[in-house]
């Protein structure tokens, strides 16, 4: 029966994939609402998308994302912050852009350290070392320098992001396609907040800390450092603030900001347990976040 159940689920996924491919083909380059409905349906059903000939401009991508988020919010809940993607210059060059991209974090996406998920939590589930900062005051909207922004952040939070690439392997991704699917936001595992005190010590910590993703035996899978985020994580904070302001929006106290990929992406497999170890971030010593994956 167990094997039969798996076969039935596989057949169901194949049928849904065929239907979504047909719809996506019809939606390619068309109405943003239709594209968003198709992409969000595949996202929620965890079916990789391969939309034939999909072409989305930057302006259209923002409209698709707005509708995409509206659809998935029915499952993932209210907005609690924002995430930046393509914050590494090499990633920007690869996608032919000169600035990051922005998505929305929803309440149900954020989990506590030690969480255990299905290895099939997304259409194309991945993991990476990231960093979250928590907005401490509304004055961040008026900050003109990195130091002024730092004064309006009250904590940094170690974060294993668990993004979903959404599109099938072999699909050539563009920056607008990434924007359309909410910059791949799916889940993320939060460590304990580290209180932050504005000043040169924390400016240095944010630039110089390192993070390693390790397997259960302590083998290093990938690594990175704070300066991989646009040279300074506070530049990402200001970019998120500015990108929102350009749309007539603002940050609020309590908002969580995911600042982007620090490490390389790790594909997920059954039985995997990941630890992210942050060194040089907390004055009290290394801190870590853990997540595991079942069948």
Question: Which conformational region is residue 180 in: left (phi greater than 0), alpha (psi within -120 to 50 degrees), or beta?
Answer: alpha
Residue 1 confidence (pLDDT): 39
pLDDT digits (tens, 9 = 90+) for 255-284: 999 999 999 999 999 999 999 999 999 999
Q: What is the pTM of this model?
A: 0.89
DSSP state of 222: E
Determine the pLDDT at residue 40.
95
Q: Is the pLDDT of residue 66 over 80?
A: yes
pLDDT (average), residues 156-168:
96
Single out the residue of 211, 112, 128 nearest to residue 165, CA to CA.
128
The proportion of the chain whose per-residue pLDDT surpasses 90, expressed as a percent, equals: 78
Residue 253's SS3 state is: coil
Query: pLDDT at position 8, please?
Result: 43
Question: Looking at the DSSP assignment, which residues form a beta bridge with residue 79?
Answer: 106
Return mean pLDDT, the chain.
Answer: 89
Nearest CA to 13 among 52, 39, 48? Answer: 48
Give whole-number Cα distances, 261 to 10, 122, 224, 288, in Å: 32, 18, 9, 16
What architecture does CATH give domain 77-294? Alpha-Beta Complex (3.90)
pLDDT at 53: 65
Torsion of CA 33, 39, 42, 44, to 10 degrees: -70
Does the structure show a pLDDT above 60 at 2? Answer: no
Give the per-residue pLDDT at 52.
Answer: 64
Collapsing DSSP to helix, strand or coil, 168 comes out as coil
Q: In this model, does residue 57 exceed pLDDT 80?
A: yes
pLDDT, average across residues 54-77: 92
Contact 179, 62 (CB under 8 A): yes
Selection from 68, 69, 95 nearest residue 80 by Cα: 69
């Amino acid at each position: 029966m167990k094997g039969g159940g798996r076969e039935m689920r596989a057949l169901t996924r194949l049928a849904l994939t065929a239907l979504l491919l047909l719809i996506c083909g019809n939606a390619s380059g068309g109405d943003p609402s239709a594209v968003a409905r198709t992409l969000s349906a595949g996202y929620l059903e965890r079916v990789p998308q391969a939309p034939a000939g999909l072409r989305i401009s930057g302006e259209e991508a923002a409209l698709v994302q707005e509708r995409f988020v509206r659809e998935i919010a029915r499952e993932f809940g209210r907005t609690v912050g924002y995430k930046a993607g393509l914050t590494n210059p090499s990633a920007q060059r690869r996608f032919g852009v000169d600035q990051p991209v922005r998505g929305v974090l929803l309440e149900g996406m954020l989990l506590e350290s030690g969480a255990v998920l299905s290895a099939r939590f997304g259409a194309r589930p991945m993991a990476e070392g990231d960093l979250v900062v928590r907005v401490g005051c509304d004055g961040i909207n008026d900050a003109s320098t990195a130091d002024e922004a730092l004064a309006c952040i009250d904590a940094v939070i170690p974060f294993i992001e668990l993004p979903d690439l959404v599109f099938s392997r072999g699909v050539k991704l563009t920056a607008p396609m990434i924007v359309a699917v909410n910059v791949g936001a799916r889940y993320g595992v939060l460590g304990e907040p580290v209180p932050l005190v504005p000043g040169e010590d924390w400016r240095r910590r944010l630039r110089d800390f390192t993070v390693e993703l390790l397997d259960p035996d302590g083998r290093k899978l990938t690594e990175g450092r704070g300066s991989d985020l646009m040279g300074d994580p506070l530049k990402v904070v200001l970019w998120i603030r500015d990108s929102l302001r350009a749309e007539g929006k603002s940050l609020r106290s309590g908002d969580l900001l995911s600042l982007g990929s620090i490490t390389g992406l790790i594909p997920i497999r059954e039985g995997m347990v990941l630890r992210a170890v942050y060194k040089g971030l907390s004055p009290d010593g290394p801190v870590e976040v853990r997540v595991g994956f079942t069948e």
